[in-house]
Chains A and B, each alone.
Chain A
Amino acid sequence: MLPGLTREEILRYSRHLLIPEVGLEGQRKLKGSSALVIGTGGLGSPVALYLAAAGVGRIGLVDYDVVDSSNLQRQVIHGTNGIGKLKVESARDRMLDLNPDIEVEVYNEPFTSENAMRIAKDYDVIIDGTDNFPTRYLTNDVSVFLGKPNIYGSIFRFDGQVSVFYAKEGPCYRCLFPEPPPPGLVPSCAEGGVLGVLPGTIGTLQATEALKVLLGIGDPLIGKLLLYNALDMSFDFVKLKKNPKCRVCGPNADIKELIDYEEFCGVPGHDHEEGSAGTGWDITASELYERVKTNHLKLLDVREPHELEISKLPNAVNIPLGQLAGRLAELDSAEDMVVFCKGGTRSARALELLVSAGFKKVKNLKGGINAWAKDVDMNLPVY
């Protein structure tokens, strides 16, 4: 039995009720339906706002982060007042302000193999607004195992991808990408940046697909991948096929339960900086400050040239990570060296490359130049 609408709700949803494809019955369907939004960041912001506004009766939010001022360039569900607040609570407050007639359930925890099935099982659709590969593979596998549609969206700089992965009727994420990319090959938004409006475009497309699936109208992107580029303003559609060799949804699937996704992808299940090269390979900003006072040290900056306009360390040599392998001859492997980037992730990768090329006296600046700006030189900006 679909829930009824109150007099106030009929007025609130008037513009929906006027569309024959939605109408009173469709609006009652939305009220009786539920959606789980994984991540309340760039993608999760428009998804959660529009699903709340549309009157989806029960919306779940999963995130464990707090609002940071560097989020607000794109994460429009949060506000300046919310800096430091839990993201799920900041998002819930905004959604309930937009629509007090819905229910918002918050999960202030990382989405992991331990809790994912329990959290996701009571929702009709799952919306992937995560920011890293391990959680994307996890979200996919949970959706396949629970037989639920996974409304997928993903972004990088100016490019976005949208699809509906529903293994009962079409391919899943693993059919397209059976193997994750080698660690470090694909930069995250925290490392590579993103045009703030891009998740707005992609997230509203995800919200549209979620509403279509819940209402059972139109042609959702099942078996189709939408590829968007903001610079070209191009929308390309690619026809997808179920992969007969898919390890979770193929006829000979051998993955029957959730696995360790961080191990599978070789990267952590979050997009935080504070990159570390591992025990013994790191140096903190304060330690580096003491070392440079007394010793000669080579400083190697592996950021992109345009980042040097924001902040730089005196006497550092700049070789962007992407060029490092081809420019090793410019460096002396016998010299004491400290490698750094913005947050320590790219420099940790550079350090691996240097060590495998025979450099022994290298260290990674933990937390990058941002740690230096926080702990040593307050005149430098953090970005």
Chain B
Amino acid sequence: MNHIKLLFFATIRDRAGTKSLEMEIPADMTIQGLKDKLSTDYPNLKDSMKSVLITINREYAFDEAVVPSNAEIALFPPVSGG
């Protein structure tokens, strides 16, 4: 298992009800796998996972990327205001 830290921003922070979370995930889990896990574990986040920018250690991560141990994963929703 890998230990990771999740950071939530803007509307995702409101939906998660917290700024950050720490969790253990399987060593080979991808970003897509993590999105699926968050959708299941936190139903409030399910819709947000359909359009979200995710970074691994401050670099944009595509869905296929494998989450490394001790990674800092940040989740940013699109916002539209102007």
> Which residues of A does B touch, CB under 8 Å?
39, 41-44, 128-133, 136, 153-157, 159-161, 176-177, 179-182, 185-189, 192, 194, 199, 225, 227, 229, 236-241, 243, 271, 322
- Contact present for B58 and A179 (CB under 8 Å): no
Least distance between B24 CB and chain A CB atoms (Å): 25
**Cβ-neighbour of A180 out of B48, B51, B58, B74 (below 8 A):** B51
CA distance A366 to B46 in the complex (A): 29
The residue in chain B whose Cβ has the minimal distance to the Cβ of A157 is B10
Asked if B59 is at the interface of the complex by the 8 Å CB criterion, the answer is: yes
Least distance between A75 CB and chain B CB atoms (Å): 10
**Cβ-neighbour of A177 out of B47, B59, B74, B78 (below 8 A):** B78
Least distance between B66 CB and chain A CB atoms (Å): 16
Residue-wise, chain B 25-59 has the 8 Å CB interface mask toward A (1 for contact) of 00000000000000000000001101101010011
The residue in chain B whose Cβ has the minimal distance to the Cβ of A242 is B60
In the assembled complex, which residues on chain B have CB atoms less than 8 Å from the CB atom of A225? 53, 60, 76
In the assembled complex, which residues on chain A have CB atoms less than 8 Å from the CB atom of B48? 181, 185
* Known contacts A176-B60, A177-B53, A186-B11: A238-B81 contact under CB 8 Å: no
In the assembled complex, which residues on chain B have CB atoms less than 8 Å from the CB atom of A154? 78-82
Beyond the given A155-B81, A181-B51, could you list 16 further A-B residue pairs with CB under 8 A, ordered by the A residue number? A128-B82, A131-B80, A131-B82, A132-B80, A157-B10, A176-B53, A176-B60, A177-B53, A185-B51, A192-B81, A199-B82, A225-B53, A225-B60, A238-B55, A238-B60, A241-B59
In the assembled complex, which residues on chain B have CB atoms less than 8 Å from the CB atom of A44? 82
Least distance between A261 CB and chain B CB atoms (Å): 12
- Contact present for B9 and A182 (CB under 8 Å): no
The B contact surface, by secondary structure, is mixed
CA distance A128 to B62 in the complex (A): 25
**Cβ-neighbour of A156 out of B55, B60, B79 (below 8 A):** B79
* Known contacts A182-B50, A185-B47, A237-B58: A161-B76 contact under CB 8 Å: yes
**Cβ-neighbour of B82 out of A153, A157, A182 (below 8 A):** A153
- Contact present for B77 and A181 (CB under 8 Å): yes
Which residue, of B55, B77, B81, has the highest number of chain A Cβ atoms within 10 A? B81
The residue in chain A whose Cβ has the minimal distance to the Cβ of B61 is A241
- Contact present for A42 and B81 (CB under 8 Å): yes
Least distance between B30 CB and chain A CB atoms (Å): 15
In the assembled complex, which residues on chain B have CB atoms less than 8 Å from the CB atom of A227? 9, 76
In the assembled complex, which residues on chain B have CB atoms less than 8 Å from the CB atom of A241? 59-60, 62
In the assembled complex, which residues on chain B have CB atoms less than 8 Å from the CB atom of A182? 47, 50-51
The residue in chain B whose Cβ has the minimal distance to the Cβ of A43 is B82
Least distance between B72 CB and chain A CB atoms (Å): 11
In the assembled complex, which residues on chain A have CB atoms less than 8 Å from the CB atom of B53? 176-177, 225, 238
In the assembled complex, which residues on chain B have CB atoms less than 8 Å from the CB atom of A176? 53, 60
In the assembled complex, which residues on chain A have CB atoms less than 8 Å from the CB atom of B15? 322
* Known contacts A157-B10, A241-B60, A243-B62: A179-B51 contact under CB 8 Å: yes
Least distance between A196 CB and chain B CB atoms (Å): 12
**Cβ-neighbour of B59 out of A43, A136, A239 (below 8 A):** A239
* For the complex of A and B, 3 pairs with smallest distance between CB atoms: A156-B79, A131-B82, A189-B81
The residue in chain A whose Cβ has the minimal distance to the Cβ of B11 is A186
A-B contact pairs, 25 of them (CB 8 A): A41-B82, A130-B82, A132-B82, A133-B78, A136-B80, A154-B79, A154-B80, A155-B82, A156-B11, A156-B80, A159-B10, A176-B60, A179-B50, A180-B51, A181-B47, A181-B77, A182-B51, A186-B79, A186-B80, A189-B82, A192-B81, A225-B53, A229-B10, A238-B59, A241-B62
